[in-house]
Amino acid sequence: MKIIAFIPARYHSKRFKGKPLALIAGQPMIQHVFQASKECPDLDEIYVVTDDRRICQCVNGFGGQAIMTDEGHMSGTDRIAEAAEKINLADRDIVVNIQGDQPIFQPSIISDLIRPLIEDPKIPMSTLMNKIREDRELNDTNNVKVAVDKNGYALYFSRLPIPFCRDQESKTTHYKHLGFYAYRKEFLLLFTNLSYGLLEGAEKLEQLRALEHGFRIKVVETLFDSVEVDTPENIKIVEKKLSQINSPGP
C-alpha cells in the first residue's frame, strides 16, 4: 500500500490571484508547503497538482514533482482525483490532500492524519481538528468548526461556532477543522462522483457532502495548529511565525 500526498494549487484564486507563487521569506508559498510535506517520513511520494504552467515550472525549478490537470475542476479534491488516476494508484492506496495555502504546518500532523486509515481498513476518510483557544478564532467564519461524536467521527462542520452554548454557564470545548484529508483512492473517486449536497451548498464546505451521503469521517485531534493564507495580508502573519520558529532559543 502506497501513501501519496497531493498538493492542489491554482493560480486564479478569487481572493488572492497567484497565491501559490507568493513569496514568503523569499520562497514561493508552494515551495514551503512542499518542503514541509517532505519532512513527513510516512509519505512515499509528493506531487503538486495544478492547471497552471507557471506553478508547474516553479515546482520543477525547486526539484519537486508536478502534475498538470484539467482547468475545469470545481475543487482541489477533483483535481487530486484526476492526478491519482493519472499515476495509476491502486484502490487501497492512501491519498493525502495537503492544502497549498498552509505553508508552515507541523509535518507530524500528516502521520496523525493517516494513522486511522492504516489501523482500520473500514475507515474511508479522515481529517484533523485543533482545540480553539481564542474567541477570535471561534467567531471567525473563515475558521471552520467541527463537532464529533464520542468515537471521534464528525457530526457536522460549520463556519459558525458549534456546539452553540445556550446558557452562559454552559462550558464546552470547540474545535477548529484543519483542511487536511486522507482517503483511500477508491473512496476519493466515489466522493468526487457524489451529487452536490444541500448542506455543502449552504456552508460551502465540500466535506459535508460525505456526511450528507451517509459516509463517516474520522477526525483526529492534533496539538498543532496550521495557519492558512487566504489574503495577501496573511503573508505577514506567516512570516512572523516563521521568524519565531527559526529564531534560536535563549
Return the percentage of the chain with pLDDT > 90, whole number: 77
pLDDT band at 242 (very low <50, low <70, confident <90, very high): confident
Across the range 20-32, mean pLDDT stands at 95
By the 8 A CB rule, do 179 and 142 touch? no
d(CA 38, CA 62): 13
d(CA 185, CA 141): 30
pLDDT for res 243? 83
Q: Which CATH architecture has domain 3-246?
A: Alpha-Beta Complex (3.90)
**pLDDT tens, position by position, 69-84:** 988 888 889 999 999 9
**pLDDT tens, position by position, 200-212:** 999 999 999 999 9
Lowest mean pLDDT among 35-44, 65-74, 125-134, 217-226: 65-74
**How far from 28 is each of 22, 33, 35, 104, 120, CA to CA, in Å?**
5, 9, 11, 12, 37
Does 248 score more than 70 pLDDT? no
φ, ψ for residue 29, nearest 5 deg: -55, -40
* 0.85 surpassed by pTM: yes
For the chain, what are the domain ranges? 3-246
